[in-house]
Structure formats: C-alpha cells, structure tokens
C-alpha cells in the first residue's frame, strides 16, 4: 500500500531529483524526515515495482552514443529476457510493447564499439536477435507525469 510519503516521492522526484553528493539527505531535509526513512521508502517502492531504478536519463548522443533496440521475444520468456537486458548498466530503460517486437530499450555506451559489444552480449545471453533503431530525428517527450492517487 502506498503511504502519503511514497506518493510524494513518486510525484515530486520524477524529474527534480537533487543533483548533489547527498541527494537522499536533501530529500529528507525537504520533507522533514530522516535520510533512512527516504531510503527505506524508495526501497519499498522498488520492491513493490513502483520504480525500477533511480538514475539519470542522458539525452541521446550527447555523451557517448546511443540507440533504440527492439527484440521479438515469446511472451513466456519476456520477463526473463527483460531481466537480462535490465542487468546491463548501459541500458537506460526497457519496456514492453504490444507488437511482434515486444521488448524495447535504449542503450548508451561510450562509443560504437562498446555499443555493439553490449548488444552482442545481450543477444548471446538471451538467445534472441536485437534490431537497432538509431536516432534519425530528435524529439523530446516529457516522461514525467503527475500521479493521481485518488483512493
């Protein structure tokens, strides 16, 4: 069950996460609670799969290189392959889509050689081919949204 603190963390820190050496302490100070309480709440949100990670999203090709990748995975193996993909730190995020190509993810690496190396490793580990969809035209989509928690 989501507590008022969980709801506030989900709403307030989707995009405005503190960029400091002590972000969880900064959040705690702004909420009037302890850093341990913030860490516990984020761990609870992760354990309940309300969040999958806390980290930056880097604008494509501003630091290193990136590509969108799609894979066609049988539904019964989708979670296993998604977990494999999520294990790679170069993966920004991944998600399921309703299509033959049902697993999509963004991959960022320091250069093309590393990018190809990670894609090959994912293909070998998962047993499925990956289709690269490089960025041709840049569009900005704001992925943050106000959560409606009406009970």
* 65 membership: H or E segment, kind and range: strand 65-71
* Calpha distance 27→45 (Å, rounded): 16
Q: Please name the residue that has the structure tokens 């170069």.
A: 90
The CATH number that domain 65-133 falls under is 3.30.70.3460
Count of residues in the chain: 151
Residue of 61, 39, 43, 41 lying closest to 52 (CA atoms): 43
* 100 membership: H or E segment, kind and range: none
pLDDT at 136: 75
**Treating both helix axes as pointing N-terminal to C-terminal, what angle do 23-31 and 4-12 enclose, rounded to 10 degrees?**
120
pLDDT at 137: 74
Q: Please name the residue that has the structure tokens 């730190």.
A: 89
Phi/psi at 81 (5° precision): -70, -40
Q: Could you read off the pLDDT tens digit of each residue along the chain, which spans 151 residues?
A: 789 899 889 888 887 889 999 999 999 999 999 999 999 999 999 999 888 888 776 666 667 888 999 999 999 999 999 999 999 999 978 899 999 999 999 998 999 999 999 999 999 999 999 999 987 777 666 666 676 666 5
* Calpha distance 149→139 (Å, rounded): 29
The domain spans of the chain are 4-47, 65-133
Phi/psi at 28 (5° precision): -55, -45
pTM: 0.61
pLDDT at 144: 65
| Helices H / strands E in the chain, number of each | 5, 4
Each residue's pLDDT tens digit, 38-79: 999 999 999 998 888 887 766 666 678 889 999 999 999 999
Residue of 126, 114, 60 lying closest to 89 (CA atoms): 114
């Amino acid at each position: 069950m989501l507590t008022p603190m969980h709801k506030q963390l989900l709403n307030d820190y989707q995009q405005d996460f503190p960029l400091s050496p002590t972000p969880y302490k900064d959040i705690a100070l702004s909420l009037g609670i302890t850093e341990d309480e913030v860490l516990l709440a984020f761990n609870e949100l992760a354990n309940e799969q309300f969040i999958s990670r806390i980290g930056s999203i880097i604008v494509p090709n501003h630091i290193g290189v990136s590509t969108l990748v799609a894979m066609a995975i049988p539904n019964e193996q989708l979670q296993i392959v998604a977990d494999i993909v999520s294990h790679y730190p170069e993966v920004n995020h991944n998600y399921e889509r309703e299509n033959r190509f049902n697993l999509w993810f963004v991959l960022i690496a320091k250069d093309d050689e590393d990018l190809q190396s990670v894609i090959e490793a994912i293909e070998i580990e998962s047993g499925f081919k990956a289709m690269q969809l490089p960025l041709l035209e840049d569009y900005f989509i704001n992925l943050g949204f106000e959560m409606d928690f009406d009970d």
